[in-house]
Structure 1
Amino acid sequence: MCEVVKALIFLARQNIAIRGSTVTNPEAVIAREPNSNLSQLLKLMGSSTTDLEKWLQSKVTYTSPDNINELLNIMGQMISRKLTSQIREDGLTRTSVAHEEFLGLYHVDKTGAVTLFITIKDVTLRLGLPLDLCRGQCYDSASVMSGVKNGAAAKVLEVNPKALYVHCYAHSLNLAVQDTTKDCSVMRDSLDLCNELIKLITSSPKREAWLETIKKCSGEGDSAGKVKRFSSTRWTVKASAMKRIIDNYGSIQTLLDEIYDDSSDRDTSAKVLGLSTKMEQYDFLFGLILTL
């Protein structure tokens, strides 16, 4: 049993699926699934442990889907207790330490402020983190969360006035910069074109691989990095995505030329030709650099 737990800890820690991609019977004992990751890992561990090898050859128990899920839940609860214990210890000292820890995803039947507040209150109570020790809340600008009178933040403030609400800094920065760029046509157009370029490349694994081949042939290799997707809420992610466009500028222009020559679709050809033409203009590159 201990070996099964060790194997589960390893798979969960490395974010590896317990079963794998080939499952013949979802209700079967997982350790008896010949191609499951758990089964193969146990066999590997059993090659150096006689007792485990004999156990695997016998009628394997404790590895049904229900048992595995229960073990994983217990592990998750142990991790949560350890994290919350550390938060409580730091919170009770004079020099408090800021924590950013992921403690779970929670399902809600409704998305109203009252429902979300009740969920927050219930979760913090279960984790042993009383709301009266909370000193801050951070959400985006959605009214259901940040509403001054009826938002979830307001409901928490009614219970604990010291839990001050702060608009997410990353989201605030993104909103501020977006409003700023709207007043500058060069920056606005460059951002829009950059987004279209990224969608064109990242929407096709073939084009991504094509771009990597072009970079290798040109001697750039991995030094410029891969093209990254835009983020709708984080400006810092947008900035890094735009920098990747600048770093791969020449290779992307070559890629557009090859896509245009290879494509038989008129809409794609027209879109690629338009992007290629814009990339040859000074305003586009200047706008990207100015935005950064």
Structure 2
Amino acid sequence: MDKFLNLKRKSPSTDDIHLDDMPHDPGERKRIHEYDHNQIDEVRRKYLTRGPCQLRGHSFKQRVISGALRRFNPSWFDQYGDWLEYSVKKEKAYCFFCYLFSNEKKSGSVGFVTEGFDSWNKSDRLAGHVGAVNSFHNIAKKKCEDLMRQVDAARYLLKQGLPFRAHDETVDSSSKGNFLELVKYTAAQNEDVSKVVLKNAPGNNQMVSHPIQKDIVNCFLEEVINSIVQEMDNDVFALLVDESADCSMKEQMAIVFRFVDKHGMVKERFVGLIHVKDTCSLSLKSGIDSLLAKYSLSLKKVRGQGYNGAGNMRGEFNGLRALISKENSSAYYVHCFAHQLQLVVVAVAKKHFEVRDFFDKISLLVNVVAASCKRKDKMREIQRDIIEKGISNGEIKTGKGLNQESSLPRPGITRWGYQYKTLLRLIEMFSSVDEMLMYVEDEGADLTQRSQANGLLKYIHTFDSFCKKHDTGILNMEDDFIDPRKPRKKTNITNLHHYQFNFFYTVLDMELQEFNGRFNEVNSELLVCTSALSPTGSFREFDKEKLLRLAKFYPEDFSVMECISLKQQLDIYIDNVRRDERFTDLKHLGDLSRLMVETKKNLSQPLVYRLLKLSLTLPVATATVERCFSGMKIVKTVLRNRIGDQFLSDCCFIEKKIFEDVANETVIKRFQAMSERRVHL
């Protein structure tokens, strides 16, 4: 029937070739040009995903060459690891790149493609095979790299936190989204890439659909987290958790692991965002359990918990802290030190009447000076005139980065850092603020604004730090203090006594009371015992009894016999480090841990090093988790608010250094293993 209908038989499909069954040994492969023309790129991608055939544990056969026994040197795999491969069947070496892009007319070096190389006494031919920049080998290598370029589009967008898609990705659209436009641009720059992507790829196998993009992104994330898990090396770690709402008002929980790696370096690694339906402790605990189970991590390895001060996190009975502590008593909770300090200083500033009055006036000053765009522009003009005058008089230096345009930031209500920044900027711009208040006093829109400016002018002119500059009276600290509420009554105290005892000492006492109320006995004891490991001042804080008490906090890490051995190791340890000059200038526990690994003291005093690791694992701040939410806000915006929860977690790449080390080949291998594909990426 075919004879009469003159039908052309179809070439065998990719599935008929059985890509997974293609021989790995280069001596058993058929020539690349013998495959069907439409399937050569699929075969090349499959081999590139596998990589060159390198049998590093193989016992290579010896033979006599020039009167001596010679064999293949396994170290050549390290020297030429990207292209050199070995055939067990033929006992010869081949070039991986030249094989993939050889043809009937041009095959590069015949000895490394068809016949094979076995002159083991002439190793210089390996370097000679690579040749110059335009050699057949280097051209073939570049073509291999070009075939893997489609993944680079996803890599670039992930690294920069850019959106993948556009509203309209049809053929007639002028902007089809960043992913498609990047693939299109890459194809336009490289002829080999353009032959196998977009319109030149099979219509139902272009590998650019939305699900394909999500799969590629997820592969990058999984490779990054696998690298983090390998860094942890099944050792103890701490959990840093925080939750925040995204722009779609969905609660997202960020999780960070804190641990000490095999080099003694303290690492804090972001591992993902998890959407939780509510912020109760049970929901948060369930999300953490699912993440740990996914990567085969145990809650028994947790040695610290770091959260903010929310009740659902730090609750002693029903909070997340309590739920984890029930399963692991060694997972000690430490409230973020930075957050604690913020709360203490802000609370004291509100309790002390004079201090609170001072910051209220600062807030009023910012409102008066920068109440409208017109006043902000006027403020900039005044500041510019003052700077120009100072430069012309030689009072202000010029240079790169100096004398930049600045403004008076609004002080934060709950963040002492914002209030401190406002005070620093007020000192820097005092002359401009003073002149601006005089302008508002004269040109204010109503009587209220003018009276506020007048009162603020009188108030700021009492600041001692500016009295000399503005020719105002300076307060003599030895004079008698005059109470402004009762100016005629003698107080019988000096100004120094009033400000020192009624202000400075009072505020210090209030801060100490706040700190004592925010740290429980266990946390205080942990911190006191940990300080005995400090290397500052030639280990002057070293206290063996405190360190032995610290070990008792971790019964799962130190048995009774190990505690006895630890006592002996501590004596040897302190004697060694005080005698060793390399340990004299250390300032932090992290430096001590790193140097112990470098000097192999972690092997000679393993129990001391274990105690040091446990101390470093305790979380002291949750700044890393806060940075995760900053990354989330870059990825998910008001104009990009429909992004899914899993895709959002995959796109929030905080660990960019690990991300850059992920090879395209490993991503492609994972991508191919996710599901059955018609073609290979």
TM-score normalised over the length of structure 1: 0.72
- Residue deviations 1:185-212 (CA, integer Å, cap 9, x gap): 3432343444566678999888777766
Determine whether 1:50 maps to 2:50. Answer: no
DSSP-derived class of the 1:103 partner: strand
DSSP-derived class of the 2:269 partner: coil
- Look up the match of 2:162: 16
How far the C-alpha of 1:87 sits from its partner, in A, is 3.0
Q: Is the 8 A contact 2:365 2:456 kept in 1?
A: no
Whole-Å separation in 1 of the counterparts to 2:274 and 2:309? 20
Quick check: which has more Rg, 1 or 2?
2
167, 180, 202: which one aligns with 2:348: 180
41, 53, 59: which one aligns with 2:182: 41
Instruction: State the AA in 2 paired with 1:121.
Output: D
How far the C-alpha of 1:119 sits from its partner, in A, is 1.9
Q: Is the 8 A contact 2:440 2:453 kept in 1?
A: no
Instruction: State the AA in 2 paired with 1:274.
Output: Q
DSSP-derived class of the 2:273 partner: coil
Q: Is the 8 A contact 1:18 1:37 kept in 2?
A: yes
Give 1 or 2: higher helix fraction: 1
Q: Is the 8 A contact 1:137 1:166 kept in 2?
A: yes
424, 428, 443: which one aligns with 1:247: 428
How far the C-alpha of 1:161 sits from its partner, in A, is 0.4
- Look up the match of 2:254: none
TM-score normalised over the length of structure 2: 0.35
Q: Cα–Cα, structure 1 residues 34 and 57, in superposed 2: closer, same or farther, change >3 Å?
A: farther
**Identical-residue share of aligned pairs (%):** 23
Pairwise CA RMSD of aligned residues? 4.3
How far the C-alpha of 1:177 sits from its partner, in A, is 0.6
Whole-Å separation in 1 of the counterparts to 2:284 and 2:315? 13
Q: Is the 8 A contact 1:201 1:207 kept in 2?
A: yes
268, 278, 281: which one aligns with 1:100: 268
DSSP-derived class of the 1:135 partner: strand
Number of aligned residue pairs: give it.
281
Moved more, 40-49 or 192-201: 192-201
Q: Cα–Cα, structure 1 residues 164 and 283, in superposed 2: closer, same or farther, change >3 Å?
A: farther
Q: Is the 8 A contact 1:90 1:97 kept in 2?
A: no
- Residue deviations 1:30-85 (CA, integer Å, cap 9, x gap): 9x762633344344433431133453554683222332222222222222222232
Whole-Å separation in 2 of the counterparts to 1:271 and 1:41? 55
Determine whether 1:6 maps to 2:6. Answer: no
Q: Is the 8 A contact 1:33 1:39 kept in 2?
A: no
Whole-Å separation in 1 of the counterparts to 2:451 and 2:353? 21
Whole-Å separation in 1 of the counterparts to 2:375 and 2:176? 32
Q: Is the 8 A contact 1:145 1:152 kept in 2?
A: yes
Whole-Å separation in 1 of the counterparts to 2:155 and 2:367? 37
Q: Is the 8 A contact 2:307 2:335 kept in 1?
A: yes
- Look up the match of 1:76: 221
Q: Cα–Cα, structure 1 residues 45 and 204, in superposed 2: closer, same or farther, change >3 Å?
A: farther
Moved more, 134-143 or 119-128: 119-128
Moved more, 153-162 or 242-251: 242-251
Instruction: State the AA in 1 paired with 2:310.
Output: A
Q: How does 1:216-235 map to 2 (within 5 A)?
A: 216-219=384-387, 222-223=403-404, 227-228=408-409, 230=411, 233-235=414-416
- Look up the match of 1:278: 456
- Residue deviations 1:217-263 (CA, integer Å, cap 9, x gap): 54386547555565555433442343234323444566677899999
Structure 2, unpaired ranges of 5+? 1-146, 237-259, 389-401, 466-503, 508-681
Q: Cα–Cα, structure 1 residues 172 and 37, in superposed 2: closer, same or farther, change >3 Å?
A: same
Instruction: State the AA in 2 paired with 1:242.
Output: L
Q: Is the 8 A contact 1:279 1:285 kept in 2?
A: no
Whole-Å separation in 1 of the counterparts to 2:158 and 2:454? 45
- Look up the match of 1:160: 328
How far the C-alpha of 1:129 sits from its partner, in A, is 3.3
Q: Is the 8 A contact 1:170 1:233 kept in 2?
A: no
Instruction: State the AA in 2 paired with 1:48.
Output: Q
Moved more, 65-74 or 44-53: 44-53
Q: Is the 8 A contact 1:224 1:244 kept in 2?
A: no
Instruction: State the AA in 2 paired with 1:281.
Output: Y
Structure 1, unpaired ranges of 5+? none
112, 129, 134: which one aligns with 2:280: 112
How far the C-alpha of 1:9 sits from its partner, in A, is 1.2
Q: Is the 8 A contact 2:170 2:176 kept in 1?
A: no
Instruction: State the AA in 1 paired with 2:230.
Output: S
Determine whether 1:135 maps to 2:135. Answer: no
DSSP-derived class of the 1:104 partner: strand
Whole-Å separation in 2 of the counterparts to 1:5 and 1:200? 54
How far the C-alpha of 1:159 sits from its partner, in A, is 0.5
Q: Cα–Cα, structure 1 residues 204 and 95, in superposed 2: closer, same or farther, change >3 Å?
A: farther
DSSP-derived class of the 1:281 partner: helix
Whole-Å separation in 1 of the counterparts to 2:313 and 2:385? 51
- Residue deviations 1:111-170 (CA, integer Å, cap 9, x gap): 222222222222233244321111111122222111111111011001100000111111
DSSP-derived class of the 2:270 partner: coil
Whole-Å separation in 1 of the counterparts to 2:281 and 2:272? 19
- Look up the match of 1:64: 209
DSSP-derived class of the 1:246 partner: helix
Q: Is the 8 A contact 1:108 1:119 kept in 2?
A: yes
Q: Is the 8 A contact 2:441 2:451 kept in 1?
A: yes
Whole-Å separation in 2 of the counterparts to 1:127 and 1:284? 62
Moved more, 168-177 or 55-64: 55-64
Whole-Å separation in 2 of the counterparts to 1:120 and 1:112? 13
